[in-house]
């Protein structure tokens, strides 16, 4: 069902509710290590490409999540269409609490596994770890900090799981935040920022990253209050972490 040499498995999320879709995307990317490109994702109710997951998608994704939590009939029809078209990905269906037959209908349509509402993201992560062998890190990063469940879209907006607010970043701010988010709670030095962002060496006295960090802090606090911290670690660099964990995660 997937390429064994694939380092970062790809996932697609189909959900009619844009907030639900965004939260699932963030969770799969930050806690399970999937590559999830939100701008390429088609919500439930929109016919898949013909052929499904052909160019520009490339090889079939390792995981497809189809949510029927808000529109089960549309979601089941989409699932059936994908299997009829020959999609070989692992398909996880999220069933609503509305009808007893929905889970059975999902299996009949070709789902590999089904989770029924109410469900938690922890249950989802543990299920994917058991079924697909993916890593699952629900909260703690490599640096011991609580890793924020966030992502940055192609328009340089930072989105947080469980929240409708987003933060509009400049391109330079988004590039800096992308490096910090990928660090998984570890301290990132100014040297590392310069190498990853500008492909150069950081020079002592260069304050551009300090200026970006100060501006980002103001934007994060305005949108999210004290939920996130962008800390400056003296003589070491910066770390991005979650101060007030989201209860839903």
Task: List the domains of the chain with CATH numbers.
Answer: 11-132 (3.40.50.2300), 150-242 (1.10.10.10)
- Reduce the secondary structure of 121-132 to three states and give it as a string: HHHHHHHHHHHH
Note the pLDDT tens digit of each residue in 25-51.
888 887 788 888 543 434 333 444 333
What is the token pair recorded at 207? 């304050």
Q: What percent of the chain has pLDDT over 90?
A: 29
Report if pTM > 0.75: no
Kindly indicate the confidence band of residue 76, based on its pLDDT and cuts at 50, 70 and 90: very high
Confidence (pLDDT) at 6:
47
What value, to the nearest 5°, has the Cα angle with vertex 112 and ends 106 and 117? 55
Confidence (pLDDT) at 151:
79
CA 155, CA 158: separation in Å to the nearest integer?
9
CA 71, CA 36: separation in Å to the nearest integer?
22
Mean of pLDDT values over 139-164: 71
Q: What does the buried/exposed string (b/e) look like for 102-117 if buried means 16 or more CB atoms within 10 Å of the residue's CB?
A: bbebbeebbbbebbbe
Residue 249 vs residue 139, higher pLDDT: 139
Cβ–Cβ under 8 Å, residues 236 and 244: no
Does the pLDDT value for residue 181 go beyond 60? yes
Q: Give the C-alpha distances (Å, rounded to integers) separating 200 from 23, 116, 203, 213.
A: 35, 50, 9, 19
Does the pLDDT value for residue 190 go beyond 70? yes
Confidence (pLDDT) at 33:
80
Give the up-direction half-sphere exposure of residue 106: CA atoms within 13 A in the CB hemisphere: 26
């Amino acid at each position: 069902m997937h390429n064994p040499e694939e380092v970062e498995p790809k996932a697609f999320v189909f959900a009619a509710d844009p907030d639900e879709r965004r939260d699932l995307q963030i969770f799969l990317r930050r806690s399970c290590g999937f590559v999830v490109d939100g701008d390429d994702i088609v919500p439930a109710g929109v016919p898949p490409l013909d052929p499904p997951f052909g160019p520009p998608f490339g090889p079939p994704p390792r995981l497809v999540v189809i949510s029927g939590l808000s529109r089960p009939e549309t979601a089941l029809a989409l699932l059936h269409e994908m299997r009829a078209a020959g999609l070989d990905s692992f398909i996880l269906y999220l069933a609503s609490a509305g009808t007893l037959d929905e889970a059975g209908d999902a299996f009949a349509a070709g789902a590999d596994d089904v989770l029924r509402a109410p469900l938690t993201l922890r249950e989802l992560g543990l299920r994917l770890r058991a079924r697909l062998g993916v890593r699952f890190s629900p909260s703690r990063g490599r640096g011991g900090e609580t890793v924020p469940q966030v992502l940055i879209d192609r328009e340089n907006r930072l989105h947080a799981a469980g929240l409708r607010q987003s933060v509009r970043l400049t391109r330079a701010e988004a590039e800096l935040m992308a490096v910090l988010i990928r660090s998984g709670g570890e301290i990132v030095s100014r040297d590392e920022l310069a190498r990853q962002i500008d492909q150069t060496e950081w020079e002592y006295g260069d304050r551009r990253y300090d200026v970006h960090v100060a501006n980002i802090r103001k934007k994060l606090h305005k949108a999210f209050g004290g939920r996130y911290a962008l800390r400056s670690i003296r003589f070491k660099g910066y770390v991005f972490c979650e101060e007030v964990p989201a209860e839903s995660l």
